[in-house]
Structure formats: structure tokens, C-alpha cells
Amino acid sequence: MTRKQRRMALIGAGIAILGVAVGLVLHALEDTIVFFYTPSEAQAKAIAPGERFRLGGLVADGSIEKIDGTTIRFVVTDAGRELPVTFSGILPDLFREGQGVVAEGMLDAHGVFVADTVLAKHDETYMPKEVADALKKQGHWKTGEGD
Amino acid sequence: MIAEIGHFALILAFAVAAIQATVPLLGAHRGDAALARVAVPCAGTQLALVLAAFVALGIGYVTSDFSIANVWANSHSTKPLLYKITGVWGNHEGSMVLWVLILALFGACVAAFGANLPPMLKARVLSVQAMIAAAFLLFTIATSNPFERLHPAPFDGQGLNPILQDPALAFHPPFLYVGYVGFSIAFSFAVAALIEGRVDAAWARWVRPWTLAAWMFLTIGIAMGSWWAYYELGWGGWWFWDPVENASFMPWLSGTALLHSAIVVEKRDALKVWTILLAILTFSLSLLGTFLVRSGVLTSVHAFAVDPARGIFVLLILSLFVGGSLTLFAWRAPLLRAGGLFAPISREGGLIVNNLLLTAGCATVLIGTLYPLMLETLTGDKVSVGAPFFNATFVPMMIPLLVLVPFGPLLSWKRADVLAAAQRLWAAALLAFVTMLASAWLSRGEPVLAAFGMALGVWLIVGAASETALRIGAFREPLATVFARARGLPRSAWGTALAHGGLGVMVLGIVAVTAWRAETIALMQPGQTVEVAGYDLTLEAVVPRRGPDHDEEVGLVRAERNGRTVARLEPARRVYRVRQMTTSEAAIRPFATGDLYVVMGERDGDGWIVRAYFNPLAPLIWIGAVIMFLGGAVSLTDRRYRIGAPRRARAARVPAVEAAE
């Protein structure tokens, strides 16, 4: 092989690997990313049941109820709309009524959000950024709650 | 007083760094040896001054001097001493001082141990290193002064976030920073070489030990962070593809590529331009990581700074260094003379494939990390990119790499015979195949890919072992010859085998946990029993306990297997008194087959929610990382890489020994 051919072989291998990587990324960006919505946005977009998304907002006061041993039901609100959520499992340590929460899952046929993951803030000065932004947009931000 | 001394030392360090960044560079440009020599005492002074600032802050923490705002915000008089000390870097300002300290430490080490570096190269390297230091010192002084005073001094501090009060996390940042910041040396060498217009085998030998040391610490730092997440966050997971985790993982990936491409520069005088580019990119990714973590554009457990001024400042530093070095690269790289020729199938070719796959994998992580930021800026849509994305992009890039790793060390330089290499791997292939059948049978074929993953791990381990066995003639030669050869085998060859074997061990752990973890959640009243992966867990009682700075409820859990008690676990829920913050403390009991992992949730009536996992082979993930670290350490003790050992004159005729193998 001449020097030029060798170089072409290397460049070819580089382009091939890069091409595979680009293909995988584009494909994954279609399928695997999860959008974040507040209850108002979720209702405005009329999301179909079974489509995964992240729901963020505040846990509505007085809304937490136990269904059975490990399943609970609560309402997420962004001060505009509300969305009922069910979740089975251990809640984060700082899951409280009136606090920020992000849940990941999908809507069922009755419009209830079935969460498989619930994230709450990690300490008393931290609020999930998406929740803070969404609440600011709605004009329900109290200063001193985070940021 | 002590705070003012520290503050003053930081400012002086900035002044010294500014001198070190300019005078030696000028000296090297003019060929003035006296000016160039200024770099060495400057580097030492800079280290002493930053160390003084760091110690001053440390004294503030240990003596609980709450007139220092930083101590007040992050410490408390009742905090255990260990966490008072580690609290120094458990916050934004303090961690920046640590960052600069490690930067200065690396610079001073080059100054002290690089006695036989060509004087002008050394002057340039130290100058570039000082430019980075000056930028970050200015950043620290201007936007993140750790020595700000409070008037009047508060009576007691606010305490440290309790989930950060943990031994693994306490020492995670220093290790991570030694890794992250250590790549600055490779960067400085690369920029100095571009200014000089010369890269040769000796250059690669000077760079490799530093890169290797940085890589080792980054490996262990990332592993510690993941171990912390595993047992402290209580979710049973060990890697979350959190942007902050990715920020440290990207320099690791490109640093690993750099480590391998520098071998080609050293042994074959080829791939010079690519290696220089990788050195620049690796440190750029470290800077990007610093920007992502420090600017508050990401929200995460790890991100403490949320101050737009800081973000813009770090972004400026980032663009200055990345933009500047890449411009220099575009301008000067064509000057570098192309080196040795090689066929596509050769050790060089193998290392190129390694580099391509690692950098492509790194690119997918970069896209996954930055995509949500870009999308939100452009369209306002908020998305999260999580494990599914990386499983669909990064993992497929790594699988061919893992398959190819055992071939690499068996290929000869210049032109190699793949079939001959494959024949030498028959034992690895056989054992991998047996593993695949065995795990498919044991798991009843579910999931399909897991059996293949386990085979891959065994393939890596046995592949690394067979390469060493071949080289020392094990099973073929008399024992005395084998021992003699084993002693004669370069340490770097042992290091390579260990690191590749460690990777295999880690793969086994990752695959087993991902594929076969078992999980049970139950509301348990004392006396009740649940089952997970063949273990019967009985919650015997829940008792209150009082710790130095927290109160806790401890669940006493007995684990039985086939009616015999095999472990007692004590998961707890803690309330930290100062911050009134609750944490769950997972109880983990490692067995030979995996970890039994129990977390206790909130009280509900008469019961507690208990979540139990069985994580098969989980400890192998971290054991693998430790083996990789040891591999690096063994390699580093190789006589030929001893810091400062190589000389340019000698280096020119060295590669003969290795190539003969």
C-alpha cells in the first residue's frame, strides 16, 4: 500500500465509526429522550396515554393518600392545572406536601399519571430547576425558596 | 487574621503566576536562558502560596472560625473533625482553592523533577501551566473569595449538607481533581510543543507519566463517586448518567485515548498531530466539566454554585483556553513532521481503532450531556436525556472496543498478523464461550445480551492473562525460565495486562447488576418477612439511636437463606439536627455472589416501607476500577517512565527492545 492509500484507509475507518456514532445518536434522540412538562403544559399538549414524560410541579396540599401498602396517590399542581399521580415504591426523603417534585412515567387511560420514578429536592434550599422555572413563568415564585 | 493571610497569599500567588506565565515564555522565545529559568522558582513559590491559602482556610474550618462566611455557610461546631477538614473543599469557593492547589502542585512537580527536560521546553510548559493557574486564581479571587468575613461573627455555622458527610465523598473531589487537573500537564506540554514546532519520542515519554498519573486518579475518583451514589443515595444504582458524572467521564474517555496514542508517538514517532489534538481536547473537556459544574447551568446534587457572574467567568476561561489552543493547533500543527509508516493491521492500527471508538463514544456522551441545554436555549423545550439514550449510543460504541482490546497487545508494530493473534487467544475465546453458555443456562437465557456481556468480561480478563502468559512462556518453559522472564518483563507490560484485566472485571460487575438485579418493595411491620433473590428478610424491630449530630430510627433486619441466618442488616433513617434534614442510610452486605442491599423508607402506621435489592456481582465494578488504578501504578514504576528519566539523545535509538517482542 502506498502512503496515500494507508491514509485513506485510516480516514475511511474514522468516517465509518463517526458515521455509526452519528446514526446511533440521531436514532436515540428520536426515541429515548423524555420531555418535561408541568400539569398545564401536559394538558395543553394533550399527551397521549403511554407516552413517557417528566411531570414537575408542587405536591398539592392535602392530596397525599395511601392506596395500599406501598402505593400512594398525590396531586401535582403548578398553581394553574392539577394532575393526579400514582406511585409505587419508596418516596424520596424530602417528598412533602407543598414541595417541588419531578415524576417520570406516563398517563394511563383515565388520565392518571403513573410514575415509576419520583425525584424530590435534595435539601431544603434546592428545588428541581425545571420546577422553579415553570413556577416563575406562572408568577408563583416565592423568593427565598431556592436559587 | 488567618483569613487575611490566606487571602493575601492567594493574591500573591496570582501575581507570581502572572510572572511565570509571561517571563519564561519570553525567555524561551529570545533564547535567553536566564529569563527562561525564572519558571522554576516561580512554580515553587506559587505552590507555597496556594498551599498557604489552603491551609489558612483549613485552619478556619478546624477552629470553626464563623467570622469567615464560607466556614459559617458550610460548617458547624458539632461536625466531626474529619468533615470539618473535608468541608474545606465541600463547597464552591473551597473547591476552587483545591483546584488551583492541584494545578500548582503539578506545575511544581514538573519544575522539580523535570531536571533533564530541555530548558526551553520546560520554560514553555511551566508558562502555559501558569497561564491556567493565573486564570483560575483570578476567578477565585474575583468571584469566589473563600475568605470573606462576616460582621458580627455568627455564634454557630449552618452545617454541611448531610448527604455530603461521607468518607467516600469526602475524598472523592481531591482524587477527581488530581485526575481532571492533572491533564493540564498534557495540555501544557502539547501547547509548548506547538510553540516549539517539535514533537518526538522523547516528548511523548515526558508526557506519558503525567497523563498516566492523572488518568489513575481520575479512574479512582470516578469510582469513588459512583460508590458513594450506590450506597448513599439509596436507589441501589451506581451510575445515573447525571450531567455531573458525565462531566468527569468525558475527560476520562479522551484521556484513555490519549494514553494509548502517546504510546504510538513514543514507540513509532507517528500520530503526533492527533496526540497533540487529544491532549488539548482532554483538558478542554476537563475545563468544560468545570464550567458545567461551576456555572449552575446544570442542577444536580454536586452543583453548588448558582451565580451567573461565575458562569460567565468560567465560560470566558473555557473559550480562551480552548479557542486559543485550537487556533495555535491549526496554525502550528502542519509544521509537525509525519513519522513512521505502518500498515492498517498493526499495533498502530489497533491503537487508532481504540482512539476512534473512545473519542466517538466520548462524543456521544458529550451530545447527550449538552443536548438538553442546547434544546432549552433554542426552543425552550425541557428534556431529560438519561440512561436509555446512553445505552443506545455509548454502549454500542464500546462493545467493539471491548471485543478488540485483547488483540491490541498481541499485534506487532508496523505490520501484524490478525490470525496469529487470534490463535493466541484461543483460551480466552474458549472460556468466554463457556461463560456465555453457563450464564445463558443459569439465567434461562434472559436477557439475551447479558450472557454475551459476561462472555465479554471473561474474554478481557483471560485475554490479558494469556498475553502475559505467552510473554513469560508460562506452561511451555521450565519454571525457572518463566520466573526469570516474568522478572524481566517490563513493568509497563504488567500494567497493561492489569488495566485490561481490571476492565474485564468491571464489565462482569456492570453486566450482572444491570441484567439480573432483583428488587422487592414491601410495607413491613416488625416480625414480617419478605423474600428477595432467595434471601428471606425479617424486620425484627425498629429502634431509635442517637448519633453525634443526628438521631436515627434503625431497622434490625435478619437475612436468612434456606433457614440459616446469613446476615444482619441495619438500614436507618436519619434526621440531622442542624439542618433538620432526613436521609436514608442503606445497609449493604456483600456476599460472594453479590450485594444484599436494604433501604428503609418512611413510617406508615405500624409499618415501614422497606425496599430490598440483590445486586449480583456489584462489588466487581469498584474492584475492577481499583485493579485498573493498580495497573496504572505498576506501569508508572516502569524504569523507562520514571519521571525525568528519558533524555532526548538516548531516546532516539531506544524502541528496538520493545519491537523485538
Q: What is the pLDDT of residues A58-106, one digit of tens each?
A: 888 888 888 876 788 999 988 778 899 999 877 776 677 877 788 888 8
**In chain B, positions 209-268, which contact chain A (CB-CB < 8 Å)?**
234
Give yes or no: residues A61 and A94 share one domain. Answer: yes
Please check whether residue B374 touches A, CB under 8 A. no
Q: pLDDT higher for A136 or B343?
A: B343
With CB atoms and an 8 Å threshold, state whether A36 touches B384: yes
Count of domains forming chain A:
2
Q: Which residues of B570-579 are buried (b: 16+ CB within 10 A; e: fewer)?
A: bbbbbebbbb
Look at A17 and B301 and tell me if their CB atoms are within 8 Å. no
* One domain for residues A66 and A12: no
Angle between helices B167-196 and B201-232 (to 10 degrees): 160
Spatial contact of B596 and B588, defined as CB atoms under 8 Å apart: yes
Q: Which domain holds residue A62?
A: 35-137
Residue for cell digits 479571587? Answer: B141
Task: Give percent helix, percent strand, percent coil of chain B, each to the nearest 5.
Answer: 65, 10, 20
Q: Which residues are registered as beta bridge partners of B553?
A: B544, B573
- A93 CB neighbours in chain B (<8 A) are 573, 581-584
Does residue B583 sit at the A interface (CB-CB below 8 Å)? yes
Q: Are residues A59 and A126 in the same domain?
A: yes
Q: Ranked by mean pLDDT, which of A18-32, B19-33, B410-424, B604-618 comes out on top?
A: B19-33
Residues A63 and A128 in one domain: yes
B196 vs chain A: nearest CA distance in angstroms? 26
Using CA atoms, how far residue A12 sits from A9, A17, B355, B361, in Å, is 5, 9, 14, 18
Nearest Cα of chain B lies from the Cα of A110 at a distance, in angstroms, of 25
From the list A10, A89, A123, the residue facing B579 with the nearest CB is A123
Q: Are the beta carbons of A124 and B522 separated by less than 8 Å?
A: no
B356 touches chain A (CB under 8 A): yes
At B158, the pLDDT band (50, 70, 90 cuts) reads confident
Lowest mean pLDDT among B2-11, B187-196, B314-323, B417-426: B417-426
B581 part of contact set with chain A, CB < 8 Å:
yes
| Chain A neighbors of B584, CB-CB under 8 A | 90, 93
Interchain pair B383, A34: CB under 8 A: yes
Residues A94 and A28 in one domain: no
What DSSP line would sit under B96-147, residue for residue? HHHHHHHHHHHHHHHHHH-TTS-HHHHHHHHHHHHHHHHHHHHHHHHH--TT
Claim to verify: residue A7 and residue A65 sit in the same structural domain: no
pLDDT in tens, B166-196: 777 788 888 989 998 999 999 999 999 999 8
Chain A residue at shortest CA distance from B233: A92
B293, pLDDT greater than 80: no
Interatomic CA distance for residues B535 and B315, integer angstroms: 52
* β-strands A65-66, A71-77 pairing: antiparallel
Handedness of CA B173, B175, B179, B182 (dihedral sign): positive
Give residue-wise pLDDT tens across range B435-476.
Answer: 999 988 888 877 778 899 999 999 999 999 998 988 888 788
User: Domain for residue A26, yes or no?
Assistant: yes
Same domain, A51 and A119: yes
Claim to verify: residue A5 and residue A75 sit in the same structural domain: no
A123 belongs to a structural domain: yes
* Distance (Å) of CA B624 to CA B248, B274, B619, B620, B637: 18, 29, 8, 6, 20
Mean pLDDT value of segment B514-532? 88
Whether residues A64 and A125 fall in one domain:
yes
pLDDT given for residue A28 in this prediction: 86
Looking at residue B641, the DSSP 8-state letter turns out to be G
Q: List the CATH number of the domain containing A104.
A: 2.40.50.140
Q: A120 and A73 in one domain? A: yes
pLDDT of residue A139: 55
Tell me the helices (H) and strands (E) count for chain B, helix number first: 22, 11
Q: How far is B128 from chain A (nearest CA, A)?
A: 31
Assess B606–A contact: CB distance below 8 Å, yes or no. no
Both A121 and A50 in one domain: the answer is yes
**Minimal-distance CA residue of chain B relative to A31:** B389
Report the alpha-carbon angle B297-B299-B305, nearest 5.
65
Instruction: Tally the C-alpha atoms within 13 A of residue B549's C-alpha that lie toward its C-beta.
Output: 22
Do the interacting molecules here have an ipTM over 0.90?
A: no
Do the strands B550-561 and B535-546 form a parallel or antiparallel pair, or are they unpaired? antiparallel
Asked if B383 lies within 8 A of A31 by C-beta distance, the reply is no
How distant is the Cα of B414 from the closest Cα of chain A, in angstroms?
12
Examine residue A121 and state whether it is found in any structural domain, yes or no.
Answer: yes
**Separation of alpha carbons B37 and B181, rounded Å:** 24
Residues A115 and A133 in one domain: yes
